[in-house]
């Protein structure tokens, strides 16, 4: 069986289109389908749409509905946990992950038993604001330099995996989830298919520039301790520098006397060092914050309703 996991946050308009498009490719894939829609605390009629979909196709549609918005990462995890298929794919509801690619991905994975996963990535960054491309490209450059986990630039979450890889991903039950990194960290043989970027069919993206920026910081903090090393390095370097300067000043005072000048330079040095300390504390704080959330060991999500509840009502 092939499980299709679809995280949905305010997708009432996209969902029927998504379902219709995916149903079209169903005959081309030689495997029974299982849809798992995860309603991530939508504030629109997404849940109603899902109930309808289930009523019309009870043999292959399942849905999970969260008690509130827990984020796409939690929705993905819930979907992966619920999936029963030997093959599992993860798709966005807005048709930015074209279902027409599914048959090809499935063929490739099915034929080649060496492969564990077929991923997708955008062929280019056309149609994206220049400034966003700039930051995205730099994010990938930075994280690939400082983290052991390599990320593919432009890789999307849309991927088709074998059961063994899904089970591996499920074992990483951390609270701070950065899927792009997790999929890469577990290893396994992955091949990428490139395709042109597509605009979402309906609704609005939930990613602002600021959210993306925070997401990229999360990615770095979750998969690399290099920022901590940089902080220690800055500290050691400025200690060494000021030590040398002190020796220099002491010797100069002995040789030339002590004219009381240089207040402005003193103040700027104080500010500079103070700033460095705050920066390093901030970096350390970021990691401690992650540890704090992680040690609470909270569940990643709470379910409020699933298709099972519908069955019982009948």
Q: Which residues are at the interface with Mg ion (CB under 5 A)?
A: 92, 94, 96, 200
Residue 145 burial (C-beta neighbours within 10 Å; 0-12, 13-18, 19+): exposed
Measured from the CB atom, the residue of 57 and 69 that comes closer to ligand UDP is 69
**Shortest approach of ligand UDP to residue 71 CB, angstroms?**
5
**Shortest approach of Mg ion to residue 92 CB, angstroms?**
5
Chain residues 34-63 in contact with ligand UDP, contact rule CB under 6 A: 40
**Shortest approach of ligand UDP to residue 89 CB, angstroms?**
13
Task: Determine, following the binding rule CB under 6 A, whether residue 302 of this chain makes contact with ligand UDP.
Answer: no
Task: Determine, following the binding rule CB under 6 A, whether residue 8 of this chain makes contact with ligand UDP.
Answer: yes
Site string (96-135) toward ligand UDP, x via CB under 6 A: x---------------------------------------
Per the structure block, which two tokens stand in for 88?
């599992």
Residues 167, 3: Cα–Cα separation, whole Å: 14
Close Cβ partners of 309 (under 8 Å, ≥ 6 residues apart): none
Measured from the CB atom, the residue of 7 and 85 that comes closer to ligand UDP is 7
**Shortest approach of ligand UDP to residue 300 CB, angstroms?**
13
Measured from the CB atom, the residue of 142 and 202 that comes closer to Mg ion is 202
Q: Which does 253 bind (CB under 5 to 8 A by kind): ligand UDP, Mg ion, none?
A: none
The residues facing 87 across adjacent strands are 2, 162
Among 207, 272, 292, 302, binds ligand UDP (CB under 6 A): 207
Measured from the CB atom, the residue of 34 and 92 that comes closer to Mg ion is 92
Which residue bears the tokens 């491309």?
133
Measured from the CB atom, the residue of 7 and 99 that comes closer to ligand UDP is 7
Task: Determine, following the binding rule CB under 6 A, whether residue 200 of this chain makes contact with ligand UDP.
Answer: yes
Binding footprint of ligand UDP, residue count (CB under 6 A)? 17
Dihedral angle computed from the Cα positions of residues 265, 268, 274 and 277, in that order, rounded to the nearest 10 degrees: -90
Measured from the CB atom, the residue of 18 and 301 that comes closer to Mg ion is 18
Task: Determine, following the binding rule CB under 6 A, whether residue 2 of this chain makes contact with ligand UDP.
Answer: no
**Shortest approach of Mg ion to residue 203 CB, angstroms?**
9
Site string (59-98) toward ligand UDP, x via CB under 6 A: ----------x-xx--x----------------xxx-x--
Task: Determine, following the binding rule CB under 6 A, whether residue 12 of this chain makes contact with ligand UDP.
Answer: no
Q: Which does 9 bind (CB under 5 to 8 A by kind): ligand UDP, Mg ion, none?
A: ligand UDP
Positions that interact with ligand UDP (CB under 6 A):
7-9, 11, 40, 69, 71-72, 75, 92-94, 96, 200, 205-207
């Amino acid at each position: 069986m092939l499980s299709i996991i679809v995280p949905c946050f305010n997708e009432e308009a996209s969902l029927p289109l998504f379902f219709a498009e995916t149903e079209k490719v169903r005959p081309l894939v030689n495997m029974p389908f299982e849809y798992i829609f995860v309603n991530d605390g939508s504030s629109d009629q997404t849940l109603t749409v899902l109930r309808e979909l289930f009523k019309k196709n009870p043999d292959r549609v399942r849905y999970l509905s969260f008690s509130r918005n827990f984020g796409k990462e939690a929705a993905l995890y819930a979907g992966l946990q619920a999936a029963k298929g030997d093959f599992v794919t993860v798709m966005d509801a807005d048709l930015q992950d074209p279902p027409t690619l599914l048959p090809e991905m499935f063929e490739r994975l099915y034929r080649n038993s060496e492969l564990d996963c077929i991923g997708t990535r955008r062929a280019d960054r056309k149609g994206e604001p220049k400034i966003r491309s700039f930051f995205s490209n730099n994010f990938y450059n930075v994280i690939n330099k400082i983290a052991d986990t390599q990320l593919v630039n432009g890789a999307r979450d849309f991927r088709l995996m074998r059961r063994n890889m899904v089970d591996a991903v499920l074992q990483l039950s951390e609270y701070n989830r950065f899927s792009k990194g997790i999929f890469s960290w577990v290893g396994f043989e992955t091949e990428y298919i490139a395709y042109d970027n597509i605009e979402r069919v309906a609704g609005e993206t939930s990613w602002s520039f600021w959210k993306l920026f925070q997401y990229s910081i999360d990615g770095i903090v979750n998969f690399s301790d290099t920022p901590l090393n940089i902080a220690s390095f800055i500290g050691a370097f400025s200690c060494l520098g000021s030590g040398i300067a002190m020796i220099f000043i002491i010797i100069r005072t002995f040789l030339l006397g002590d004219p009381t000048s240089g207040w402005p330079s003193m103040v700027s040095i104080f500010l500079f060092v103070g700033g460095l300390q705050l920066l390093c504390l901030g970096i350390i704080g970021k990691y401690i914050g992650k540890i704090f959330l992680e040690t609470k060991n909270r569940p990643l999500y709470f379910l409020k309703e699933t298709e099972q509840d519908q069955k019982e009502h009948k």
